[in-house]
Amino acid sequence: MALGDLEREVMTQLWDASEPLTVRQVHELLGRERDLAYTTVMTVLDRLAKKKLVVQQRADRAYRYAPAQSRAEMTAALMFDALSATPDQDAALAYFLGQLPPGAIRAALDATPKET
Amino acid sequence: MTALLLGALGLTLSLAVPGVLAGARWPDRAPVAAVLLWQALTLTSVLCALGVVLAAPEEMTRAAGADHPWTVVALVLSLAVAATIVIRLLISLIKVSARARARRERHRMLADLLDRAERHRELGGGEVRVLDGALPLAYCVPGREPRVVLSDAVLRILDREQVDAVLEHERAHLRHKHELVMESFTAFYQAVPRPLRSRAPLDAVHLLLEMVSDDAARRRAGPAPLRAALARLSDAVPLAEEAPADPAGESRRRRLDRLAGPAPNSTGLSVLAGVAAVGLLVLPTVILVVPWLDQALDAWPFRSL
Ligand SMILES: [Zn+2]
């Protein structure tokens, strides 16, 4: 399984969980579907923490991991990045829709129903 | 004389022509050639600036006499200015592409994490990613590992045929490396001193590249699904009241118009614009070389016979 897919699945578990999870908990949640080494899960969580996508908390002698942002927040931020890329700044992305004024982007993103 | 001619040409190309070209509608019927023309126009104005800087001291020298002390100063100064222009452009290009690459890299990583993989299995294409969200949105992230990103809303609003047309449009951007074209124009834009900058080339080229991708998608998916997708996606974005003077509205209308009738592209116009682009590129060289050639011919020993 590709590392990218694994990172996505680990993030999904953290997003879906109601509280921060330990490596063991993540491992168990993922392990139900497939055979995965504990250390692999640890490495993935470590990588995600280095990218600041996951925050590490120490509680009861064990590290617990929580997503830095909710899925909805991170999605909104990503869409905002895509929509606010303008050619005169850094030619970052190419879009199907034309440029939107920043006010309209914010309004549209705020109108996006947040999942809880 | 050469310097004056080059200067006049450079000023015309950088101040007058972009406005005319940006206002013209014929590029809608020859978008690829029109992009080439914009590139030639930009490159030629740079060549003219370099030509002026390099030719002027040589001409002053001839007027003042070769052994005049100012000659060396003028020559060194002009070389310095020419070098500054070239270096400024190169630095701008490196900065723009490095920044864009970093931003895309991070964007791709986040899109991979947020991907709702289960929602696009049947769409095919390993590069497609689907994000949650009620805002209809489709774009591509160029790079070594390119991505086409759709929001969930796109899949809800559009039918399968229309989604395919959108994917073809985005894939055309990626296949044709449109981001490199935009990067070069952005780099030029940023290298020009602020009071002289014009957004006209950037915006015009951006729209032309959209048309090029529209044409590619039209060839593969047909004009009707693409047109419907474009109309539906832009209708679904609540921006009408937010943006009274919406510049994107005008370009959207032009794209829709192109997709309404039979294929709008004209081979004749494309050839003409292509020839104009090549002509522009060689013009500064001709201006530089002709007087020199003239003198050389004058010095030709058999001329007096
Ligand atoms: Zn596009």
The least confident of B20-24, B38-42, B199-203, B284-288 is B284-288
Instruction: Report the mean per-residue pLDDT for chain A.
Output: 79
Of B99, B242, B252, the CB nearest to A98: B252
Q: Domain limits of chain B?
A: 2-299
Can you read off the two tokens belonging to residue B158? 């559009």
Per CB-CB distance under 8 Å, the chain A contacts of B239 are 100-101, 104, 107-108
pLDDT of residue A116: 39
Of B103, B140, B238, the CB nearest to A107: B238
**Highest-confidence segment of A101-115, B120-134, B207-221:** B207-221
Ligand 1 centroid–CA B139 distance in Å is: 7
What are the start-end ranges of the E strands in chain A?
21-22, 54-59, 62-67, 94-95
pLDDT of residue B240: 40
pLDDT at B243 over 60: no
pLDDT of residue B14: 87
Q: What percent of chain B shows pLDDT beyond 70? A: 90
Ligand 1 centroid–CA B66 distance in Å is: 56
Interface of A with B (CB under 8 A): 4-5, 7-8, 11, 51, 53, 71-72, 74-76, 78-79, 81-83, 85, 87-101, 103-104, 107-109, 111-113, 115
**Which residues fall inside 5 Å of ion ligand 1, going by CB?**
A 96; B 210, 213
pLDDT of residue A94: 54
The least confident of A20-24, A56-60, B129-133, B144-148 is A56-60
Owner of token pair 């081979």: B267
CATH architecture of A3-67: Orthogonal Bundle (1.10)
Can you read off the two tokens belonging to residue B132? 């949650």
pLDDT of residue B75: 79
User: Distance from A27 to chain B by nearest Cα, in Å?
Assistant: 18
Can you read off the two tokens belonging to residue A60? 């009861």
pLDDT of residue B204: 92
pLDDT at A114 over 60: no
Relative to beta strand B147-151, strand B128-131 is parallel
Return the amino acid letter for B61: T
Ligand 1 centroid–CA B173 distance in Å is: 6
pLDDT tens profile B146-162: 999 998 888 988 999 99
pLDDT tens profile A88-107: 665 555 554 544 555 555 66
Between residues A58 and A85, the one the model is more confident about: A58
Q: What percent of chain A shows pLDDT beyond 70? A: 71
pLDDT of residue A112: 52
Binned at pLDDT 50, 70 and 90, residue B252 comes out as confident
pLDDT of residue B244: 41
CA angle A42, A43, A48 (to 5 degrees): 100
- CA B26 to chain CA centroid, nearest Å: 17
Q: What percent of chain A shows pLDDT beyond 90? A: 41
Binned at pLDDT 50, 70 and 90, residue A110 comes out as low
Between residues B57 and B18, the one the model is more confident about: B18
Say if the Cβ atoms of B139 and A94 lie within 8 Å: yes
Instruction: Report the mean per-residue pLDDT for chain B.
Output: 86
pLDDT at B73 over 60: yes
Per CB-CB distance under 8 Å, the chain B contacts of A78 are 107, 110-111, 114, 131
pLDDT at B305 over 70: no
pTM for the whole structure: 0.86
To 10 degrees, what angle do helices B267-299 and B2-11 make?
A: 160
For residue A14, what are the contacts with CB-CB under 8 A and spacing of at least 6?
A20, A21, A26, A54, A65, A66, A67
Q: Domain limits of chain A?
A: 3-67, 71-111
